[in-house]
Amino acid sequence: MKNETPHQEELQPQMTITTLQARIQELETEIADLTLLHETTVEHGTTLENELIDLVATLTTVARELEVGRFDVQSLRWLIDRQDELGELGRVFQTMGNEVIARDRRLRMLRVIIPAGVALSAEKDFNRLLETILIEAQKLSHADGGMLYLLTSNKTLQAMIGRNETLGIAQGGTSGVAIDFYERLLYDSDGNPNHQDVIAHAALTNQRVNVVDTYTSTEFEFAAMHAFDREWAYRTQSLITIPLCSERDEVIGVLQLINATDPESGKVIPFAVDDVVETLILLTSAALSSYLREEQLRSEINRLQIQIDPQRMAQQVTEITETDFFQDLQARAKQMRRQKRK
């Protein structure tokens, strides 16, 4: 065995200390890595936990909305856009929601539109027809108020019926109360189209107008409406103005609905027109157009009868005087007159 030199004996303890220090540093690095891994795991775990909580809350909300026939796909948008299993779950809920909404729309069509259509087509009283049109439109759109105008031969829109549930107003129709709303002019005194008036604009353009808030809208003039609000301590916020057309797509009137309300909260919201309301508008236009067409036909028939009757009477007189019986009577009358003269 070799004898170690004094220099080698001095190096061994030094190398041992250096090795231990290096090992300690390695262990400290490993501990730091483990600590970072633990913190990262906890952080990811917390994030995943929060995502799962949000997921459960979102799906619970969607399920409750589906129970009452309401579904907003935007509430699932953050989930649908994911490309993992959670995103797939969100897309499944989206499909279910669309199917439920489609089913409810069909059921609503059967329960609401068909009876309304039957009522409109069967109504023969003009005032009651106008009233039915407005009431059914208010029901479907949850509108607090509304007005119905008809186009006159003078190119104006005459108010026929007005209603407001909050204010207890019922004018025209079968109410027995005369309507005191002024007629709307389609053109001013210079013949220019009156596009500042939202009702006239809808009739002139044959376009529906949906206003979210009359107090912030700058497209139309609502001074008269706001004066009404001040007088009645009311606030006309949302409104939708709908032209009613004949089968030839000619405007025959305008329906305006005021202040759509949320059935649950009672708050005024913007009008949202769905397939059911669209169908009611078509039925309303058809019923009104049919009634006006029948009235026009009756007027034409009466006018023709007045013109024809005198001609027919003259023809009948001629036919009677040319009969053998009348000729015989006439001959006898002449003979009797001669005998009297003798």
Q: What does 143-159 look like in DSSP terms, one character per residue?
A: EEEEEEEEE-TTSEEEE
In a domain, 116, yes or no: no
Q: What is the mean pLDDT of residues 148-155?
A: 87
254 in the same domain as 165: yes
In a domain, 262, yes or no: yes
> Is the distance from CB of 143 to CB of 242 less than 8 angstroms?
no
Q: Two tokens at 326?
A: 């009348």
**pLDDT at position 110 over 60:** no
d(CA 215, CA 304): 52
Among 101, 130, 153, give the residue marking a domain's end: 101
> Is the distance from CB of 134 to CB of 255 less than 8 angstroms?
yes
The two beta strands, 156-164 and 143-151, are antiparallel
**pLDDT at position 306 over 60:** no
180 in the same domain as 289: yes
In a domain, 119, yes or no: no
Rg, Å, the chain Cα set: 42
In a domain, 107, yes or no: no
76 in the same domain as 208: no
Helix runs in 209-274, H state only: 223-232
Residue 47: pLDDT band (50, 70, 90) is low
Among 45, 71, 101, give the residue marking a domain's end: 101
Residue 171, φ and ψ in degrees, nearest 5:
-125, 145
147 in the same domain as 285: yes
Positive or negative: CA dihedral 99, 102, 108, 114:
negative
Residue 186: pLDDT band (50, 70, 90) is very high
d(CA 95, CA 92): 5
225 in the same domain as 175: yes
Residue 232: pLDDT band (50, 70, 90) is very high
72 in the same domain as 18: yes
230 in the same domain as 156: yes
149 in the same domain as 93: no
Identify the domain containing residue 51 by its residue range. Answer: 10-101
Quick count: other Cβ atoms within 10 Å of Cβ 232? 13
In a domain, 303, yes or no: no
Q: What is the mean pLDDT of residues 207-222?
A: 93
213 in the same domain as 161: yes
**Residue that wins the pLDDT comparison between 111 and 170:** 170
**pLDDT at position 342 over 90:** no
212 in the same domain as 82: no
User: What does the mean pLDDT of the chain come to?
Assistant: 76
In a domain, 125, yes or no: no
**Residue that wins the pLDDT comparison between 29 and 259:** 259
**pLDDT at position 184 over 80:** yes
DSSP 36-86: HHHHHHHHHHHHHHHHHHHHHHHHHHHHHHHHTT---GGGGHHHHT--SHH
- pLDDT of amino acid 1: 46
How many domains does the chain fold into? 2
Highest mean pLDDT among 95-109, 182-196, 323-337: 182-196
81 in the same domain as 151: no
Q: The whole model's pTM is what?
A: 0.58
Alpha-carbon distances of 2 from 5, 7, 8, 204, rounded to whole Å: 9, 14, 12, 118
d(CA 128, CA 136): 12
Positive or negative: CA dihedral 241, 244, 248, 252:
negative
284 in the same domain as 166: yes
Q: 């006309």: which residue's tokens? A: 236
Q: What is the mean pLDDT of residues 111-135?
A: 71
Among 101, 125, 158, give the residue marking a domain's end: 101
d(CA 97, CA 95): 5
SS3 12: helix
CATH of residue 152's domain is: 3.30.450.40
In a domain, 264, yes or no: yes
